[in-house]
Structure 1
Amino acid sequence: MRTPSGEMSTSLKKGTWSLEEDQKLVSYINRYGIWNWSLMPKYAGLSRSGKSCRLRWMNYLKPNIKRGNFSKEEEEIILHSRVHLGNRWSAIATRLPGRSDNEIKNHWHTHLKKRGTYNLVHQTTNPNDIKNTQQRVNHVTDNIATQPSEAFEDDSSSSSSSITPSIEQELA
């Protein structure tokens, strides 16, 4: 890894953080604040990378981090937010004060992923609606696959108009 001055640094520590390192990082941030993660370890007296310090602070040492199991309400917020925001864990984390994006992501992948997908499909729609939607998608896909290739060429006259109405009619 290169330091900001451009010289190679081979003395960076990796692995588990010690209690002494945690205390150095916390006391430095409490005294001077967060200003530049890549330069901070040097001034804080740590032999760690800036990324390692940032992740340690954000995921473990920050004072307002909520620890422990997720409540049912928090899980519902994650499930609902995941539908609207996708894998944008930082955006989801803003809806759960005290929880880090990394913690939410890990909880999703270990506990909620299968349950979330099942619940979303079976609670929000009627099974008949799912079947009908799938049949319409298959029908439209089959129609597009059987269209002559000239319909897909870049022709300014009727290439988009010959396909678009049929798709709109199928989906309507």
Structure 2
Amino acid sequence: MILNRIKSYAVTIVLSTCLMMTQESEACAVARDEYMLNHEKMIQQSADIYLVKAISKKLENKVITTTFNVLDVVKGRDRKQVTISFPAFEYEKNSSHRFMTDFSLHNDEKFWKSGVGRSQILTNCETVASFRLGYGYLLFPKFKSNAKGAEIINDTSDKWYQFVKESVSADLK
């Protein structure tokens, strides 16, 4: 009787562990529409687009808030600073998550595919991007959760930055 009870507990523990491991390792089955929105539509539907530089970050209640100085108003309201928040992912004061790439100044063909960008999708389907202090970004506040909504731009000759500026100029004509 005691042996049967121990076996029962052992089976329960093994099954519970398997269930927890499966849930933790499962990827998000479907990305949100905002994440996959193609870059032309994102540019057209954005009220504001800014070239910014990350100047401060703070972690509070599992949320990272980053403040940026606006270097160029590509589209929208004139502002000196912009602040955005994301769920905490990998918080370090002076660094960021492992996907800190500018896709070779956005000349890499992979970047131009739908759903490819610097932002990451977590297993719970939330999208996160994190920021390194002192780095420049092309920020789409309305679409911050888009794959391309917060791309690294540290050179104004960057292909993505130039593409967005030209698209905005063409839309204004």
TM-score normalised by structure 1 residue count: 0.23
Q: Give 1 or 2: higher strand fraction.
A: 2
TM-score normalised by structure 2 residue count: 0.23
Q: Give 1 or 2: higher helix fraction.
A: 1
